[in-house]
Structure 1
Amino acid sequence: IPIPVSVSFIYCFIKLCLVSIPCMLLSTVHDRDLEEDIEADTSGDVRRLLTLLLEGNRDESYEVDEALAEQDAVSLFEAGEDCFGTDESTFSFILATRNYLQLQVTFKAYEAISGTEILDAIDKEISGTLKDCYTALVRCAKNPQLYFARKLNAAMKGAGTDEDTLIRTIVCRSEIDLETIKDMYLEKYDVSLKDAISSECGGDFKRLLLAILH
């Protein structure tokens, strides 16, 4: 996975108070610096988005400002569908700094203003890695548990298994909302997460994941 997509995935569930953890783990385990990797491996709007995420300035409250949501929805519309070209800086700032409840209200206001769902607008207006990052951030903001259920399913589809995504997601969500993710997985795919892992994984790795799931 290219580094921008991987980093956007990580920051979908790293809390503000833990923003230094991915940097610390990358440095300790892989002898690499996340900030240096971003500087070396990305550029332009992708680098600016990841830098915003790395700064950890997302509002982590549960407060919703309806007026701000309307204002942000208008700003997003004017930065995308309502202009020639796209002002990516507006999208990046709003997606990287507003709390998730605020973003949910903003997305509804955006659809009311534009007649277009925010993911469809991003698909039409943005391309490449930046679109992948925005899509991950929007999906996580709209329904984090569904987002992670999809990530887990994708990690087990096709030939081979993405063990890194499986262990990272299950461990990081184990004390947050793993039970809800399990329910969401069953609802969406008509198979329990436990049965899916039992079918797709093996050996000590399977036993480890199943132990965490219990």
Structure 2
Amino acid sequence: LTGETMNDFIEAEFHGDAASALKSSIKCAYSVPGFFAERLHKAMEGIATNDEALIRIIVSRSEIDLEDIKTEFEARYHRSLESKIKSHISRQFKPLLLALVWG
């Protein structure tokens, strides 16, 4: 009705953590697999991997929609989730994460 997107409205009316939370809610409502693919990518970008986020997402979504998340991840980032995990994780939980991702 106003001619602006929800994100435009949020940016104009909210700031900080509130704006971030609302934007995340909109992304998740639009595409759950897309939201989690983005979160996984962010958890593994740069030098330091956010192990807690990576483990939390893979374990919590493994029996729900991890296959859809894997498909979305590859479509967005042109790399499989498995290969990204292999190159960014070197700890003892790597085999467990890969087993969950492989299904």
Same fold (TM over 0.5): yes
Which of 121, 142, 149 matches 2:30? 142
The Cα of 1:144 is off from its aligned counterpart by 0.8
Question: What does residue range 45-60 of structure 1 map to in structure 2 within 5 Å?
Answer: none
* Residue 171 (str. 1) matches residue 59 (str. 2): yes
Is 1:116 aligned to residue 4 of structure 2?
yes
Tell me what 1:130 maps to: 18
Unaligned runs of 5+ in 1: 1-112
Of structures 1 and 2, the larger Rg is shown by 1
Matched, 1:197 2:85: yes
RMSD: 0.9
Displacement of 1:203: 3.1
Structure 1 residue 180: Cα displacement:
0.2
Q: Aligned to 1:207, which of 88, 95, 98? A: 95
Q: Which has the higher contact order (CA 8 A, sep 6+)?
A: 2
Say if 2:55 is the partner of 1:154: no
Show CA shifts across 1:134-158 (max 9, x none).
Answer: 1111111111110000000000011
TM-score (norm 1): 0.46
CA distance in 1, matches of 2:7, 2:81: 27
Q: Distance in 2 between matches of 1:194 and 1:207?
A: 11
- Partner of 1:114, secondary structure, is coil
4+ runs of 1 displaced by more than 6 Å? none
TM-score by length of 2: 0.94
Structure 2 gaps of 5+ residues are: none
Kindly, what percent of the aligned residue pairs are identical?
38
